[in-house]
Amino acid sequence: MFVSRSFQADIDLLPDMTAFLEASLEEAGAGPKESFDLQLSADEIFTNISLYAYQEKVGEVEITISSTEDAITITFTDSGTPFNPLSLPQPDITLGIDERKIGGLGIHLVRELMDTVTYQRRDEKNILFIEKHRESTRK
Amino acid sequence: MIPMNITVSRNEGVVVFTPDGRLDGHGAGIFDEAIQSAFHDDDSAAVVDMSLVEYLSSAGIRTLLALAKEVKRRGGVMALAGVQEYPMKVLKMAGFHSVFTIVPTVGEGLLACGKDGLALSLIDELSAPSEKHGDVSYQVERAGTGTARLKVRGSLSTLLHARITREDLVESTFTSIKYSIGLGALSPDAGSALPLLGEMITLHGAMVWLPTDGNDTPDFLAPAGEDVGIPVYTAFNITLEGPFHEYISFESEDPDGISLEDLYRQLFSRAKEKQKKCNGIIALAIAGVTAGMTGSGLARSPLKEYSGGLKGTIMDEDAIGEWCSVNPIPHHIGDTLVSFGVGVDITAELSSYDPVALHSLAYLHPAHKGTADQQLHNHGVIFRGVPWDKNAHLEKMIQTLLQEADVADMRHLLNTTRFRRGKIGVAYISEVTEE
């Protein structure tokens, strides 16, 4: 399966993106666990791109979902400011309520939930690729 | 897609948020807005019922963390109740399961918040036993022993009959006055002050007044340390000289609180019971959380030159609409209200007071003579942005509010204004003198 759709990078469109994702993952036959993990990861990435990629300007993000028997992958492509989220330092998740920061938490969750996360800068575009193995194929 | 829906309720003094939907970047934005407007000044604890939230992202965690910090600033605890499996997994992955108080049910959340924390503190209870009148408990702390007197400038009757002229205006400064109320204006000269005269209140040298310039918006002048350079012109003023004899903390069991008139009434009857040296007049400074302020403001300066055709007073039924803007509907619920004013117990002897000065202080409408038991005159300021601190002393609390809070409103208080809890400075007035 292979589906692709472009969204305006706008946090108000997050519900639309989520609906597209839910439908596509169902079509790809994702189990509840994969589906939730991919949704959260896609949510974090879409939110980041919406808030930071284009600053004040309007821009788009293309979301491509493909699935095989073994895995489901999602690719996010935007033409915004060059930014590799994997370069962010790991957040310190042991601090107390007053010291806790939220920055970097989203990508931390993505790394925890996904089996593969890669970033490429190509043709003036940010390309972030995430992959989740199917539960049923895990040994 | 189901949009995020937030229900906010109060349970035993704890704010309970029930978000229904996905707590993602979109839902968190809606939750943030609900939090902004949810807190009353005396709220210090919150429970988030997470039982309808199936999905949580880092944006949702950001909102929960901001809420936990806000509640901590207010000296309380936030608890998450009924967290579902997937959101719990996200909280664990993010390392927040150990930061937040997480409990199975809202009921346990309320317990975790310690509803008793809101009551008058135990230490107060030990040092000053509480008295109970109706739904209200009072804790009394003795304070000054000196003589308290009221100094009256101008006459309330002149004001109410709209007979003020330029000759009635007196220039003065307020930086040295702790508590006063009256009618005045901040203006470069008497001539320009006259058409702007409005209700004013002095609190610890700061002046808040409601100019009659048609904007119905209070103006606030904090003492800048030295001479502020702008004179204050007053046509009528009541100043407290001397100490408060008692500081009283009070708290109502009724969420609708106690009215200003009932507070005065209870203090008068308590004074009789306890055989206080009370001759029938008391002055009160109150800082409290209002359960609804009702107020009025002059819409037009009560000048003789404006009063053509006025037969009685500006408070008469046929005139009040023209002269006053009255709002009898309770508002500012949950905000901090600081008032100062005086009350005269009309059923008391009152013979120990100078009758002329007394007449200047309190004008009793002929229509109300015989029916009213007390005559009250109070002005109040609504402060926003500083949570209620039940342990702060009245005077310290007022200073903090003047320095840190925003002035949101200022009015002549109607007697139906209600307080949920508060601190009162009580001065038993033994003398009223004309200035």
Per-residue pLDDT tens for A14-63?
999 999 999 999 999 998 889 999 999 999 999 999 988 898 888 999 99
Cβ-proximal residues to B370 (8 Å cutoff; 6+ apart), any chain? none
Element containing residue B59 per DSSP (H, E) = helix B58-73
Is B120's pLDDT higher than 50? no
Please indicate, yes or no, if residue B396 is contained in any of the structural domains: yes
Is B329's pLDDT higher than 60? yes
Residues B33 and B140 in one domain: no
Residues B28 and B127 in one domain: no
Higher-pLDDT residue of A135, B394: B394
Instruction: Determine the residue of chain B that is closest to A46 in CA distance.
Output: B25
- Closest residue by Cα to residue B113 from B101, B97, B125, B124: B101
Residues B87 and B130 in one domain: no
Residues B22 and B141 in one domain: no
pLDDT for position B23:
94
Residues B36 and B137 in one domain: no
Residues 125-144 of B with CB under 8 A from A: none
Please indicate, yes or no, if residue B249 is contained in any of the structural domains: yes
pLDDT for position B224:
58
Q: What is the DSSP string of B69-116?
A: HHHHHTT--EEEES--HHHHHHHHHTT-TTTSEEESSHHHHHHHH-GG
Residues B252 and B392 in one domain: yes
Please indicate, yes or no, if residue B162 is contained in any of the structural domains: no
Residues B347 and B372 in one domain: yes
Higher-pLDDT residue of B228, A34: A34
- Closest residue by Cα to residue B54 from A77, A32, A3, A131: A32
List the CATH number of the domain containing B144: 3.30.1330.80
Instruction: Establish if B95 touches chain A: CB-CB under 8 angstroms.
Output: yes
Q: Report residue B309's pLDDT band, with 50, 70 and 90 as the boundaries.
A: confident
Per-residue pLDDT tens for B353-397?
988 888 888 776 555 555 688 999 999 999 998 999 988 999 999
Instruction: Establish if B93 touches chain A: CB-CB under 8 angstroms.
Output: yes
What domain range is B85 assigned to? 5-114
pLDDT for position B332:
95
CA A114/CA B238 separation, integer angstroms: 72
Highest mean pLDDT among A17-21, A88-92, B215-219, B353-357: A17-21
Higher-pLDDT residue of B215, B277: B215
Please indicate, yes or no, if residue B180 is contained in any of the structural domains: no
List the CATH number of the domain containing B98: 3.30.750.24
All residues of chain B having their beta carbon less than 8 Å from the beta carbon of residue A40 are 55, 57, 90
Residues B378 and B356 in one domain: yes
Residue range A61-80: mean pLDDT, rounded = 95
Is B415's pLDDT higher than 90? yes
pLDDT for position B121:
47
Distance from CA of B221 to the nearest CA of A (A): 35
Query: How many domains is chain B partitioned into structurally?
Result: 2
Q: Answer yes or no: are the C-beta atoms of B243 and B144 closer than 8 Å.
A: yes
* Polymer length in residues for chain B: 435
For Cα atoms B369, B371, B377, give the angle at the middle one, nearest 5 degrees: 70
Highest mean pLDDT among A111-115, B268-272, B324-328: A111-115
Tokens 């028997």 locate to A69
All residues of chain A having their beta carbon less than 8 Å from the beta carbon of residue B86 are 36
Residues B138 and B55 in one domain: no
pLDDT for position B367:
54
All residues of chain A having their beta carbon less than 8 Å from the beta carbon of residue B22 are 18
Is 0.90 surpassed by the pTM of this model? no
Residues B54 and B142 in one domain: no
Taking the CA atoms of residue B387, residue B388, residue B394 and residue B396 in that order, the dihedral angle to the nearest 10 degrees is -30
Per-residue pLDDT tens for A98-130?
888 777 899 999 999 999 999 999 999 999 999
A33-42, B26-35, B130-139, B191-200: range with lowest mean pLDDT: B130-139
- Closest residue by Cα to residue B156 from B49, B235, B241, B42: B235
Best interface-test mutation with B: which of A34, A45, A105, A111 has the largest number of B CBs within 10 A? A105
- In a 3-state reduction of DSSP, which class is residue B368? helix
Instruction: Determine the residue of chain B that is closest to A102 in CA distance.
Output: B62
Percentage of the residues of chain B whose pLDDT score is greater than 70: 92
Best interface-test mutation with A: which of B2, B4, B22, B26 has the largest number of A CBs within 10 A? B26
ipTM of this predicted structure: 0.90
Average pLDDT, chain B: 88
- In a 3-state reduction of DSSP, which class is residue B322? helix
Please indicate, yes or no, if residue B42 is contained in any of the structural domains: yes
As to burial, measured by CB atoms within 10 angstroms (0-12 exposed, 13-18 middle, 19+ buried), residue A101 is: exposed
The domain over range A2-137 is classified in CATH as 3.30.565.10: yes
